[in-house]
Structures are given as structure tokens and as C-alpha cells.
Structure 1
Amino acid sequence: MAASIRSLSRRALLLGAALLVSLPASAEDTIKFGLVAAMSGQSAKSGEAIVRGLSLAMDEINAQGGVLGKKLELVVRDDESNPAKGVVAARELVQREKVAAMFGGLDTPVSMAIVPFANQNKVPFIGVWAAGTAITRNGAADNYVFRVSAVDALVDKALVDYAVKKYAIKKPGMILINNPWGESNEGGLKAALADKGLPFAGVEKFQDADVDVVPQLARLKEAGADALFLVANVAPASQVVKSLDRMGWNVPVISHWGPAGGRFTELAGPSAAKVHFIQTFSFAGTMSPKAEAVFAALKKKYPEVKTLADVTPAVGIANAYDAMHLTALAVAKAGSTDGTKVRDGFLAIDHYDGLIKSYDKPFSGENHDALSAGDYIFTHFVDGEIVPLTN
């Protein structure tokens, strides 16, 4: 109980600090950006990582004089992984806080709920985690949504390619969370498998609150699945792993990045290390000079970060860090905080030497996703740290 109270207090302090990244002399002296993300519940660790990535980038930008002669300020709202609360938070950020742009957090259903609001109000909305394909490919004639994160349609191709190369799969099954994120990946995985001429053993769905997924897994085993594609966040993904242990079914599990978002190794137990999952970035291995500088700044700003295991999930930090720098460039290109001009500013970005990669014309009228399939790596947990797999 004491440990839980300390953890809650630490998160409350982090959120409080995030709400006041800078203390402006007056509103006219700053440019406000908003973040709508899960800052509590099972995904709080990921929300914390996003805040840290945005804050580190803002520190660098502010130290260089800000943008348009103004310092940047971050205003954070907790969506509690609830789409309705996410829309309320977005509305408050736009109408009350007058943010120039919003960053979107972890859950595809929440981001999908915010997308129409952002487009209708002509406020740029930049995704830094949620991977649902339709977030950016939303069909709007006037699209204000951009993303520096994974995209389900591309992730699903990468998952299938990896499973074929690593495990020589012939008939995989799918175990997917029963929400729009699961639906997005069901379509993407089916298409990716069809491109390879591969059948699938079946598609099974489960709920966030399910504590026993044995019936669904048993049906996939009976159908002859030789591997499993998993799409779920931390808590439900851990229940899949524990259910596999109860069955004694040692089958390869190739996952979207949900397990990276929190206490997966604690919840799933020793078999957590068997799950191979996709990421966009890792501090592990040989760091680039930019990664070394960001990691050093991270340790200085957040003294509790002492080892690489303390920065889990690194994707939250990296995606948010690059997204903030790209957004600052868009505002600079716009020469204004007007939403339409900032949207056009994103399309005018020529180059940014980022943490994840060097971006050359990352956005266009047809493509609002800065990362491509070639920017993904596969990882697993080793002693609580997310470590890249060598093959």
C-alpha cells in the first residue's frame, strides 16, 4: 500500500510539473500546446514518457529563444483512456487554453474521437502513440491530423514479414483487443497475410477486463495456429501471456507495441520475455550523438532515471520529442499560430535531424505520417528493459 501511495504521489507530482512546463509572464509571451493522454491507469507510464519527450524538446527550443520570439508552454489533460473524456479535454484545451496545436496520446479510440473535433476547429492534432490507420487517413477534405508514430497498416506488414522470416509461419492466428484498434489491425493483418498468400487460423477478440483468455486461445490452437499476432495494451496483453502459460501452449507471440506501455513484465510474469513486439526507437545498443544528448538531458531533468530500464517506454519519449520539434518547425514556417497556417507549415517542412531518424519532407498533402515501415524495430523485455532483437 505504501508503495502504491508513493507511486501515485510521484505521478501526481509529474503531472503537476507537466501542467506548468513554463511559467509565462503573460499569455502573449507564450505559445501554448496541449496534450491529451492517459496520465492515470494502466497506461500512465506511457503518458509520463510522452510528457517527458515533449518537455525535453520544449526545453531545447525555449533555450534557443522559443518560436516566433515566444516561449513554449505545455498544458496536459488526462483522458483516462476514455474517448468521451478525451473530447472534453480537447475542447477545453482549444476553447479555454487557446492552444496552437494538440498532441494526442495512447489510445486509438480516444484519438479517433478527437479527430473530427480537430478538423472542424482547424487545430493541428499531432499523434505521438496511437497507431490506428484511420487517425491520419481519416477521409477529411481538410485534414489537420499528423503523426510521428507507428501506423497500423504499416505495422501489420512488418509483423507478418517478421513472423515469416523469424518463425516461417504457415497459419497464424490473431488475438485482438475488441475495440477500434483491434479492428484496425484485423484488417491490416488480413491484408498483409493475403499479400503473402498465407491463410490464418482464426481471429479471436477479447476485452480489456478479461482475466482468462483460454477459451479464445484454445479455439486458435484447435484450428492449427502456429503463431499468434497479439494486439492489446499492457494489462490485457499480460492476460494473454498468463492464459498461454495455463494452457502450456508454447507458441510464438508477435505483438504490436502495446506491451511496451507499462508494467508488462510485472503483470505477465517470466513468459513476458517471449513476446516479440515492435517499436520505433530504443536507447539500447550504440546510441547516436543525438540519443546520447537526449538521454543525458533526461537523466538531468528527471533524477529518478538512472539506467536504460528507467526510460521504458522509450518510444513515448522519442516520438513525442521529434513531434514537438517538428511542430515548432511548422509554427516557424507558418510565421503564425493560426491553425490553417500551421497545418500548411507541416507540409512545408524540408528537413529535421531527429532522434528517431533524419526527416526529409516528412509530410505531404497525401501523407501525414512522418514514420514509414523502414523505421520499425523488433524488441523484447530483458530484466525489465526493452532490448532490440538482432534478427
Structure 2
Amino acid sequence: MKKVIQSVIKSGLVIGSLIVMPTWAADTIKLGEINSYKAMPAFLEPYKKGWEMAVEEVNAAGGVLGKSLEVISRDDNANPGDAVRVAEELRSRERVDMLFGGFLSHTGLALTDYARQRKIVYLAAEPLTDKMVWEDGNKYTYRLRPSTYMQVAMLVPEAAKLNKKRWALVYPNYEFGQSAAATFKKLLSEAQPGVEFVEEQASPLGKIDAGSVTQALADSKADGVFNALFGADLGKFVREGNTRGLFKDTQVVSLLTGEPEYLDPLGSETPEGWIVTGYPWSSITTPDHNAFKKAYEDKFGEYPRAGSVVGYAAIKSIAAAIEKAGSTNTDDLVAAFSGLQVGTPLGEITYRTQDNQSTFGTFVGTTALVNGKGALVDAYYVDGADVQPSDEEVAKLRPAQ
């Protein structure tokens, strides 16, 4: 990845001091946003609406430090090299004050390394990879959403309660999926000694052969399945699993499936009784969420999705950090993000000083069919602060700054 970044920096597209930089408005704070909009529209279209609404709210209230926020957004084509290329364009040509965004783990890691090399603050909104704040972590990179480790840790207590001995795993074969599977095996083995992992199916991202994967899981005779598939891969897996009766006598524990971005496309095919993480937008009744939900529905004429909350909370975090820093200077922003407390539609969060990970949580519940559509029911919120490894473990994983 370092070679990719160095190649982009040295390319003819970016010539550093040889470029005559455009002027920009002194009363505007520019933010560069990078994401895989064309590749992952189900999540990222609501996410964009979320950050757009937050920008409007912040600016309507007077902006930050008396200046308006302006977001300049670019698509990374779900490609790490493109993510770095547009990041350099945003930094050198557009003169953005910081970066945010990201969806897939490999593009998020590319931006993490870019932030380290170019010394620019990057708030990772969505990428879940643990490496972002641990092995590859740096003082310039912060992460909003609960990580892979955190979300798996939320599910493991429920998985252990099932007392299933033989487990199979299915996941996308890239950093997020590999990390999710490894963490599930580690944490479940600790919670339930003697558990067996009898089958693993790692499919290329976006290219699952759902028939053969489903058959392999059925042949394993596992009585529990851990799933980390999402998007179109999840839909194909569910369809084949329903057709072949895989889920009839096999309990599934699944990351992300309870988010409306993934439940909505499943519709009447939604398998019932899966234990999942997700976002039960219609049943959250806290004042903060009620206000967010009403504003979002009034503006867009639709209910919010998980991505909507993430995009909204990302801008609120950035605004709070700039306000606390008193400037957009990189060193001031780094200091401001460390220990930053921010209000979100799901309650207050803190960006931990240990690893720059926020304490943003999510919900655990079960899938069900409600009026012929997929829904997350019996859900409860898990605070991200309650599913973190110890400070000693983090210190071993994260490089010295």
C-alpha cells in the first residue's frame, strides 16, 4: 500500500509546489469525503443523506468557528489506489482541512496509511477493520463505527447461550471477513470451551457461488453458522439457504444483517430467528433519536437507515472536533479528537485516547417477518465502551506513536 501512495504522490496528477493552488473562501471549512458510492449504494446513499442533513444543520446554526462547512465528495470505485489518488487530489488541489468517509476495509486502510504519510486527519466513518485503529493505527486516523471486534463481541454472548458445539463460518474473503471469522472463533472458544469449528467458506467479495457455499455448510452438519456476508452476497446466500432448507434446523449468528440496508432487499425472503447486529429504526424511542428520525423523514420523505446515522454522526463529530480545537490546524485537530465527546442520535460517544476508536454502539436482536418484510425485533443497544479489549491488549496491538 505504501508503494501505491508513493506512486500517486509522485505522479503527474500531483506535482506539489509546481501546482498553482486555487484560492478558497476564508469563511469556509473544506472537508474531503471519499467513498464507494457506485459499488455500495444501498448503504452509502442513506449515509450521504445523513451527512448532508448534518452539514445543513451545522451551517444553519452558524457553522463552526463562524465558518460554514463545505464537503467535497469523491468516489473511490471501491479501489485502494483510487482512494489514495482522490485523497491526494482533495488535499493538494481542493485544499481540504481534513478527510472523512470510507466503506470497505481495504480502502479504509489505504486512507489510514495516506493520513499517516501526509499528516492529515482522517475520520473513518464506516470501515470496520480492526487494523485501522490497532496494527496500522496512527495518530491522524480516528474511527466512528463499532469495529469488527466490537460487533463480534456483541454477538458472542448470544451465540454462547445457544450451546451449539459444531459451528461453520461463511464470510467475504478480504480483511473484514477474515478478521470477523478469526475474532468469532477466538471469543466463542473463550466463552464456550470445547466448541468446534467444522467448516469455513471464504468467498470472493461480490462473487459468491451461493449454491456450492450453502451445500458445503449443509454437508458439514454444523448446528450453528456464523455469517459475515453483506450486500448482494448476503441476498444470494439467503436465497440458496432458504431453497435448500439450510436455516430450518441451523441457528445463524450474523454481522450487520439487522441493518435496513440489508433487510429491505431481502423482503419476504428474510430468514427468521437469526441473531444479528443492526438498526431497529422504528422502535428506538429516545428523544435524540426521535428528533433525528423526524428531521430525516421531513427532509427526505423516507425513514433513516444505519448509514444515515453514521453519516450524520460523522459530521457532528467533525464539527465538535473543530470547535474544541479552535482551528483546523492538523495538530490541534489531533489533540481535539483524542477523548472527544459527541452527541449522536444513539447517545453520547467518546473517541478513546487508547486507540482513536469511538464508543459508538449498535443493536443486537433477531430477524423476523413483520407484515411480509424483514425486521429487527427484540433488539437492545450495546454501548461500544462495553465491548472493547483491555487497555493492555490494545497497547500490544497498536504501534507506539
Structure 1 contact 45–262 (Cα < 8 Å) conserved: yes
Q: Out of 274, 293, 296, which is 1:295 matched to? A: 293
Which position in structure 2 is the counterpart of 1:37?
A: 35
1:326-341 matches, cutoff 5 A: 326-341=317-332
Q: Out of 69, 91, 96, which is 1:72 matched to? A: 69
Which letter maps to 1:270? E
Structure 2 contact 170–225 (Cα < 8 Å) conserved: yes
Which letter maps to 1:192? L
Which position in structure 2 is the counterpart of 1:377?
A: 364
CA–CA distance in structure 2, aligned partners of residues 29 and 263 of structure 1: 40
Which position in structure 2 is the counterpart of 1:3?
A: none
- Shift, 1:117, TM fit: 0.2
Please state whether the residue corresponding to 1:93 is helix, strand or coil: helix
CA–CA distance in structure 1, aligned partners of residues 379 and 364 of structure 2: 9
Structure 2 contact 159–188 (Cα < 8 Å) conserved: no
Please state whether the residue corresponding to 1:256 is helix, strand or coil: strand
Structure 1 contact 330–348 (Cα < 8 Å) conserved: no
Moved more, 258-267 or 174-183: 258-267
Relative distance call for 1:143 and 1:384 in structure 2 (3 A) is: farther
Q: Between Structure 1 and Structure 2, how many residues are aligned?
A: 352
Which position in structure 2 is the counterpart of 1:7?
A: none
Is 1:343 aligned with 2:339?
Answer: no
Which position in structure 1 is the counterpart of 2:140?
A: 144
Task: Describe the superposition over 1:307-356 as per-residue Cα deviations: whole angstroms up to 9, x where unpaired.
Answer: x3xx3xx221112222221211111121111122111111152x333211
Unaligned runs of 5+ residues in structure 2 are: 1-22, 381-401
CA–CA distance in structure 2, aligned partners of residues 385 and 298 of structure 1: 21
Which position in structure 2 is the counterpart of 1:202?
A: 199
Root-mean-square deviation over aligned CA pairs: 2.5
Q: Out of 351, 355, 359, which is 1:367 matched to? A: 355
Structure 2 contact 242–271 (Cα < 8 Å) conserved: no
1:1-391 matches, cutoff 5 A: 27-41=25-39, 43-140=40-137, 142-165=138-161, 167-196=162-191, 197=193, 198-210=195-207, 212-249=209-246, 250=248, 251-257=250-256, 260=259, 262=261, 265-266=264-265, 270-273=269-272, 275-279=274-278, 281-303=279-301, 305=302, 308=303, 311=304, 314-349=305-340, 351-359=341-349, 362-371=350-359, 375-380=362-367, 382=370, 383-384=372-373, 386-390=375-379
Please state whether the residue corresponding to 1:340 is helix, strand or coil: helix
Which letter maps to 1:68? L
- Shift, 1:150, TM fit: 1.9
Relative distance call for 1:154 and 1:390 in structure 2 (3 A) is: closer
Please state whether the residue corresponding to 1:66 is helix, strand or coil: coil
Structure 1 contact 77–89 (Cα < 8 Å) conserved: yes
Please state whether the residue corresponding to 1:257 is helix, strand or coil: strand
Structure 2 contact 143–357 (Cα < 8 Å) conserved: yes
Structure 2 contact 31–71 (Cα < 8 Å) conserved: yes
Structure 1 contact 241–268 (Cα < 8 Å) conserved: no
List, as ranges, runs of 4+ consecutive aligned residues in structure 1 with deviation greater than 6 Å.
none
CA–CA distance in structure 2, aligned partners of residues 386 and 129 of structure 1: 22
- Shift, 1:152, TM fit: 0.8
CA–CA distance in structure 1, aligned partners of residues 182 and 164 of structure 2: 19
Structure 1 contact 45–261 (Cα < 8 Å) conserved: no
Which letter maps to 2:378? L
Relative distance call for 1:329 and 1:347 in structure 2 (3 A) is: same
Unaligned runs of 5+ residues in structure 1 are: 1-24
- Shift, 1:185, TM fit: 1.0
Task: Describe the superposition over 1:243-289 as per-residue Cα deviations: whole angstroms up to 9, x where unpaired.
Answer: 2123222222221116737465546861445544212x432214222
Structure 1 contact 210–239 (Cα < 8 Å) conserved: no
